[in-house]
Amino acid sequence: MPVQTPQPRLPPLCYVRHPTTGETVEIRRSEPGYHPTVTKCSPECLNARLRQPPTPAQILAMKHGSIMGWDTLGADPAMWNRAVEGGTR
């Protein structure tokens, strides 16, 4: 049975550095992969400009979901919050 990720806990989008190129890319909730952006701004700058800036746990969950699937435990920010609290990150 697939894990049900609580989508409302995730923002509609966030910005991160591409793991290979280092370029700023966009992650869209529930969509696989990364989307290129045409900007010289850092992900931190772009995330701070969003109406509700994503938390570090939400960004980690979005990165995980975009690569490993949105129905995995890692796509839930609560898992990342527990990992930080437990010191396992």
Number of domains in the chain: 1
pLDDT digits (tens, 9 = 90+) for 10-22: 999 999 999 999 9
The answer to whether position 2 is within a domain reads no
Structure tokens at 54: 């994503």
What is the CB neighbour count within 10 angstroms for residue 64? 21
Q: Find the domain containing 63 and state its range.
A: 11-86
Q: Are 60 and 73 in contact (CB under 8 A)?
A: no
The answer to whether position 4 is within a domain reads no
The answer to whether position 57 is within a domain reads yes
The answer to whether position 5 is within a domain reads no
pLDDT digits (tens, 9 = 90+) for 66-86: 999 999 999 999 999 998 787
